[in-house]
Structure 1
């Protein structure tokens, strides 16, 4: 991708779940492209590490700890963004937790509720307060919600995760319809098998290896890199994608074409 087309200079961005994995890679890339980034995570240690990495690379970042499944904390996250940088231009709603691992008839409803709270409710809450701020500013903006290939192709024994990620697409499409007239774009990125701590944890739980899984999950026969997902989010945040809204951009090595 031509970096000159993905110019985020002067923009202020929020990235949730930015302590590790795709969120950290996205925060670092947005900062490298010129954005001032609010790094948000529930883990202050990993969040601080992302901020330190951005600053070491010459970028601008500030950490705000938030549990994005909690409405008051999401409202405070956006308020702190404005207090720090004065405005908001784009956001990548990335925070998520590991999928559930039981069939529906054995489902642990406490786990089901937790997955939906973090993987779906948090997206709704972030959109609510991010869009409120963009409307208050009277400015254009771009919101990117991180879904999954499970947003379109369900997996067995992941009922909560599949339901949440299907819901992310519904929220994305609804947001695009409601706010296009105010020049606020809402899109989704759908990662496939990306080499993150979450995926590695799932492999350990199931006892499989990358060699076992990757050929079935990618036409390239490898896991994707967090930076490859970050590129998609950066493009959707930028003015280079100004005619794109309501779209789900899959970054999955061709998995959904099978």
Structure 2
């Protein structure tokens, strides 16, 4: 596709958790669809290689290293985007971590804190600063948060992970309702099991889990990260202009069970 005619042509987009998995796939898809992408994650080597790849394909990209669970890093990412490219049109708040199938009564507070800090506080931090930047520009924008089917239903996995993704859906709906009149749309994608470093590690540490999840999914497979990224790109584009406050399952039919 000619990036000039893509669904995100001339957009300035921020992608968090962009060094691997769904985030890296989103960086590629957004750039292919015409966006200038700013990437943030904690691993510089992976970010630098991804920016080089996007630019070699004719796209425009930049990166900074940071951890969006820290308010100052989320603010820095938004400010960097605006200073470098003039505005922020779209954002995909993707950064997140998973959890084990440890029974709730055996789980330590440190696990709960780590999951909540990244999955909920990270989205909270980003939303606040992204919305601020869009309001200052006055031209609206689109934000997509990465939730999970675990934010729509309960599955036998880490309880804090399920709680964190329900919270992401709640933040999405609250922000959508609050800022719709200012032209800012806020939605979430709710992926089913998706191939990434997190899921490969998760399945390795929890034998039988992959087979169990596939058995619960009508399509019977794990998604490619690009399939989630394509949905996020559509939600960031004008093709979804009357869609806000939605947590859209991208799950092979999992939530229909």
Query: Common fold, TM-score beyond 0.5?
Result: yes
**Match of 1:38, SS?**
strand
The residue aligned with 2:40 is 40
- Secondary structure of 2:163's counterpart equals helix
SS of 1:51's partner is helix
Aligned to 1:220: 219
The equivalent of 1:189 in structure 2 is: 189
C-alpha contact 1:31 1:59 (8 A) present in aligned 2: yes
Q: Distance in 2 between matches of 1:129 and 1:217?
A: 38
Query: Which has the higher mean CA deviation after the structures are superposed, 94-103 or 121-130?
Result: 94-103
Cα shift at 1:166: 0.2
- 1:176 & 1:54 partners in 2: Cα distance? 31
The aligned residue for residue 145 of structure 1 is 145
Q: CA deviation at 1:49?
A: 2.1
List runs of 5+ in structure 1 lacking aligned partners: none
- CA-CA distance at 1:6 after TM superposition: 5.3
Residue of structure 2 equivalent to 1:234: 233
Q: Structure 1 residue 101: deviation in Å?
A: 3.3
Cα separation, 1, equivalents of 2:209 and 2:67? 31
Query: In structure 2, what is the equivalent of residue 105 of structure 1?
Result: 105
Task: Give the Å deviation of 1:218.
Answer: 2.0
Shift of residue 20, structure 1, vs aligned partner: 0.3
Identify which range, 84-93 or 49-58, moves more after superposition: 49-58
Q: Which runs of 4+ in 1 moved over 4 A?
A: 3-6
Aligned-CA RMSD value: 1.6
Residues 1:179 and 2:179 aligned together: yes
Query: Is residue 256 from structure 1 mapped to residue 239 from structure 2 by the alignment?
Result: no
Aligned partners of 2:66 and 2:214: how far apart in 1?
37
Structure 1 residue 66 displacement after superposition: 1.2
The residue number in structure 2 matching 1:54 is: 54
TM-score by length of 2: 0.95
Give the count of matched residue pairs: 255
What CA deviation, in whole Å up to 9, does each residue of 1:23-78 have, x standing for no partner? 00001100011100001111111112221221122111101111000001111111
- SS for the counterpart of 1:68 is coil
Q: With structure 1 as the length reference, what TM-score do the two structures score?
A: 0.95
Distance 1:226 1:215, change over 3 A: same
Output the CA distance in 2 between the equivalents of 1:57 and 1:185.
30
CA contact (8 A) 1:6 1:240 kept: no
What is the CA–CA distance in structure 1 between the aligned matches of 2:192 and 2:45, rounded to whole Å? 27
2: CA distance, partners of 1:6 / 1:36: 12
Q: Secondary structure at the match of 1:207?
A: coil
Contact 2:4 2:34 in 1 (8 A): no
User: Structure 2 vs 1, CA of residues 215 and 102 (structure 1 numbering), >3 Å: closer, same or farther?
Assistant: closer
CA distance in 2, matches of 1:101, 1:220: 23
For structure 2, list consecutive stretches of 5 or more residues without a partner in the other structure: none
Task: Tell me the SS of whatever aligns to 1:113.
Answer: helix
